[in-house]
Amino acid sequence: MNHNIKIGVSSCLLGQEVRFDGGHKRSHYIDDTLGAYFEFVSYCPELAIGLGVPRPTIRLISRNGQVRLVDSKDDGIDHTELMIKHSRNQCEKYTDISGYLLKSKSPSCGMARINVYNEKNFPDKSGVGIFAYELMQRYPNLPVEEEGRLNDANLRENFIERVFTYYRWQSMINQGLSVNALMDFHKTHKFILLAHDEVTYRELGPMIAQVNPENLEKIAAEYISRLMQAMKKHATRKKHMNVLQHAMGYLKNDIDTDDKQELLDVLTQYRQGQVPLIVPLTLLRYHLRKHPQPYINDQHYMKPYPEELMLRNHV
């Protein structure tokens, strides 16, 4: 368990009774399952700006081309500037968090598809919660997700993989960025990158090959930005197959015909959706223990996060 990894969480998702009606929206998965692996940093922006519990509901409205955060019953009560100010101040404290889980549908915390009401009181889902917007603007590389989307196995796995990758990046930076450290980071994340976005995979290799002490910080900043953007793209079965076959290629001279055929059969079962990703990976790792391949064994793709989370049992 690595409780050094901090992630921000909307307070209501941890069972804190901070909602407008005095209730909460506790997520059992976040609080119980993820709580065993992460240190939570909770925050409720509405409470932070002085709105009490219980309180009148608030919503986003569009007025004169601007989105404002107002009282639902009286749009003359405008919280926009105060919310922006507090959100920016709070975000300045987040230099050491590795991810954020936000409350969906919230005019302060929702990361997308939030109702914005026009002059005729008709909503459209074009909005972003004000705190969520400031957070994502301040930390564009930070993995951010909404609690409801964690019900999707692929989105859940994608978010957790991004958090652990970003944490490894932060740890590398904290230990001291160097040419060798950046090259090693890229080397050990190649398969993860390949599983998400082959185009970026092919572009970042030559970029890293050009790194030197003079351009190190510039290239590092571009690298992590492009890596985290690439990882937002879902790793499909087809993409995973590409990585698994690539890894298997390193064993071709070490395993016999029967073992090779068994691996190919399991890969076919995975490609056809008959077994989850953990099955071919487990067999591959079995052969890698018998026939070590340092380059493959060093790939974080082989174990991107604690296996106890069982994320690859469902993708």
What does the alpha-carbon distance between residue 80 and residue 49 come to, in Å, rounded to a whole number? Answer: 10
Which pLDDT score, from 0 to 100, does residue 64 have?
A: 87
Does the pTM surpass 0.85? The reply is yes
Report DSSP state, residue 301.
G
pLDDT in tens, 24-44: 999 999 999 999 999 999 999
Distant-in-sequence contacts of 244-249, Cβ < 8 A, 24+ apart: 244/270, 244/280, 244/281, 244/284, 246/191, 246/194, 247/191, 247/284, 247/296, 247/299, 247/302, 248/284
Q: Name which of 143, 154, 151 is nearest 237 in CA terms.
A: 154
Per-residue model confidence (pLDDT) at position 106: 97
Which pLDDT value is given to residue 4?
Answer: 87
Distance of CA 248 to the CA centre of its chain: 28
With beta carbons less than 8 A apart as the criterion, state whether 239 and 194 touch.
yes
Q: What is the number of alpha carbons within 13 Å of residue 195 lying toward its C-beta?
A: 26
**62 has which bridge partners?**
67
Which residue from 158, 157, 163, 110 is spatially nearest to 132, judged by alpha carbons?
110
In 3-state terms, what secondary structure has residue 117? strand
At residue 1, the pLDDT reads 53
Residue spans of the chain under pLDDT 70: 1-3
* C-alpha closest to that of 281 among 295, 255, 300, 253: 300
3-state class of 226 per DSSP? helix
Query: Do residues 8 and 100 lie in contact, with contact meaning Cβ atoms separated by under 8 Å?
Result: yes
Would you state the pLDDT for residue 65? Answer: 87
Phi, psi of 238 (to 5 degrees): -60, -45
- The one-letter code for the residue type at 219 is I
Cα torsion 222, 223, 229, 231 to 10°: value is: 180
Each residue of 243-252: b (16+ CB within 10 Å) or e? Answer: bbebbbebbe
Between CA 12 and CA 15 the distance in angstroms is 5
**Structure confidence by residue, pLDDT tens digits, 191-210:** 999 999 999 999 999 999 99
Q: What is the DSSP letter of 78?
A: B
